[in-house]
Amino acid sequence: MEAEVDLTPYQPVRQPLRRTVSVRGLDYQLTEWGVPLGRPLVLLHGWMDVGASWQFLVDALAGERWIIAPDWRGFGDSGWCDAGYWFPDYLADLDALLAIIAPEQPVDLVGHSMGGNVAGLYAGVRPDRIHRLALLEGFGMRSTSPEDAPERYRQWLDEQQEEQTLHTPDSYERLAQRFLQRHPHLTAERAAFIARAWARRREDGVLELRGDPRHKRKNPVLYRLEETMACWRRIKAPCLWVWGLESSILQMFENPAEWEGRKACFRDWQGVPIENAGHMIQHDQPEALAAALNDFLSPPG
């Protein structure tokens, strides 16, 4: 019999505000903290995450900052796309969003996982728009080979004929318990908070995850590491890499040359490992992550 766990959700210290803006014809949900003064700090979530789950990190950061965390297209409460999801669209969405919130000044940009990969590309494509860049386990993906293309295209074509689905949780409490089983460093109150951020109740009473199931389709376009590295070499901003010492992403870098080759693309680089953290660093150890970011980011304006 499982021990009973108190799943009272985490109570935010800094209360968020939410607003919707139009980004390239889609409704984009923004979660914001602080008042719109000074240099914005923009937080970009990863795959199947949402902007609101940065709450633990926001509460741990020092000083008063204006912080904006969007829900990417097809995630959270932002609009969905019938035609599918393409990586360049995330770059264009970020470009349009920054034109709304910070049209005349560079921003401090923090991205996790998928959001980190977007942030790193964008910082090389628009180097003058980024003041400081922090990548949380967003160090690029595994390189692919041209020989992978036929199978990738076949899989994508097959998936066009299939309906994608996401796990439907029985309750917020069951979903929180699932998080606790998968993430041993997550606290119960944070798990309960994330469950409510990631899921919503439909009009028929059924819970659903806040994400378009079509994100599960394979991208038919192969990932080309050389192109990513070419973008990284154009980055002007100081860059911080942060990784969890218990993260599975470290398996990508069993060959030290992989790590060193990617790191060498950044002209101003520093790295911080976080103990007792897996891939979801901002959920597992938000205080340690905040300490690293406090040392790296410019003082809040």
Note down the domain range covering 118: 17-140+152-160+221-296
Q: Percent of the chain beyond pLDDT 90?
A: 87
User: Does residue 89 surpass a pLDDT of 50?
Assistant: yes
| 43 & 79 share domain | yes
Q: How many whole angstroms separate alpha carbon 27 and alpha carbon 70?
A: 11
Q: How many whole angstroms separate alpha carbon 121 and alpha carbon 32?
A: 24
Give the helix/strand (H/E) hosting 114. helix 114-125
Instruction: For residue range 154-173, list pLDDT tens digits in order.
Output: 999 999 999 999 988 899 99
| 54 & 180 share domain | no
Does some domain include residue 266?
Answer: yes
**Residue 82 — very low, low, confident or very high, per pLDDT cuts 50/70/90?**
confident
Instruction: For residue range 113-141, list pLDDT tens digits in order.
Output: 999 999 999 999 999 999 999 999 999 99
| 247 & 196 share domain | no
| 124 & 271 share domain | yes
| 196 & 230 share domain | no
Closest CA to 252 of 128, 137, 168, 163: 137
Does some domain include residue 2?
Answer: no
Name the residue with tokens 């030290």.
256
| 176 & 225 share domain | no
Does some domain include residue 147?
Answer: no
Mean pLDDT for the stretch of residues 219-228: 94
Does some domain include residue 131?
Answer: yes
- Quick count: other Cβ atoms within 10 Å of Cβ 57? 23
| 180 & 253 share domain | no
| 72 & 99 share domain | yes
- For residue 145, the SS3 value is coil
Closest CA to 61 of 252, 297, 244, 243: 297
User: Does residue 299 surpass a pLDDT of 80?
Assistant: no
- Quick count: other Cβ atoms within 10 Å of Cβ 103? 7
Q: What pTM, to 2 d.p., does this model score? A: 0.96
| 50 & 116 share domain | yes
Instruction: For residue range 261-270, list pLDDT tens digits in order.
Output: 999 999 999 9
Does some domain include residue 145?
Answer: no
> What pLDDT was estimated at residue 3?
52
Mean pLDDT for the stretch of residues 212-239: 95
> What pLDDT was estimated at residue 1?
36
Question: Are residues 119 and 110 in contact, defined by beta-carbon separation less than 8 angstroms?
Answer: yes
> What pLDDT was estimated at residue 7?
86
Q: How many whole angstroms separate alpha carbon 16 and alpha carbon 66?
A: 11
Does some domain include residue 4?
Answer: no
Instruction: For residue range 15-64, list pLDDT tens digits in order.
Output: 999 999 999 999 999 999 999 989 999 999 999 999 999 999 999 999 89
User: What CATH code is carried by the domain that includes residue 124?
Assistant: 3.40.50.1820
Q: Which comes out higher in pLDDT, residue 300 or 124?
A: 124
> What pLDDT was estimated at residue 11?
96
Q: How many whole angstroms separate alpha carbon 265 and alpha carbon 42?
A: 23
Mean pLDDT for the stretch of residues 256-277: 96
Does some domain include residue 215?
Answer: no
| 120 & 21 share domain | yes
Does some domain include residue 196?
Answer: yes
Question: Are residues 73 and 93 in contact, defined by beta-carbon separation less than 8 angstroms?
Answer: yes
Q: How many whole angstroms separate alpha carbon 283 and alpha carbon 267?
A: 29
| 59 & 128 share domain | yes
Q: How many whole angstroms separate alpha carbon 114 and alpha carbon 140?
A: 9
The total number of structural domains in the chain stands at 2
The DSSP symbol for 50 reads -
| 120 & 101 share domain | yes
